[in-house]
Amino acid sequence: MQVTETDLPGVLLIEPKRFGDHRGFFMETWNRARYAEAGLDVEFVQSNLSGSAKGVLRGLHYQYPNPQGKLVQVISGSVFDVAVDIRTGSPTFGQWVGYELSEENHRQLYVPEGFAHGFCVLSEFAVFSYLCTSLYDADADAVVRWDDPEIGIEWPVNDPQLSAKDAQAPLLASVSSDRLPRFMEFSNAI
């Protein structure tokens, strides 16, 4: 397994080992001991799966309080996956990283607590897997606008399909500071 630190401390790009032959392939998508050795020592308590059509954009989602760290991976298809640092006081506040995750490259992205997450579907359809460090909490559910010009994400879609919640999301600068995580709470997450 290869683990690469990104430009945002705590956000990790993971490329699990894949073993294959003419019959197909095998790979571990999570092994607590191996991932802990590689620097990702977390406990996952919820697993989610979503399916989305080409051009669908989901995000930028986060929970606060009761934040979730997420280990995400594409099961089939391809997405452009994004993490944004929304921790007030962070030296990388408002900065983002994005990577293509696909069934071909088998990459995973770890998005730690204190970060917003989103993705857009590049293939005709994509099945997306999330392992989460805390349970979904509807009262803590929050969103930042996907096309916030201050964040400046370079999405590979021009006119995405959005949920009503995502289409009406506030700009990061409009979110009350008591609804954003603080850098010191999560600066040592990984």
Q: Among all residues, which ones are annotated catalytic?
A: 61, 130
Helix/strand/coil percent split, the chain, to 5: 10, 40, 45
Sheet holding 2-5, edge to edge: 2-5, 12-15, 108-111, 70-76, 125-132, 46-53
Give the Å distances, CA to CA, from 11 to 46, 76, 182, 187.
19, 22, 16, 12
Q: Tell me if 154 sits within 8 A of 121, measured CB to CB.
A: no
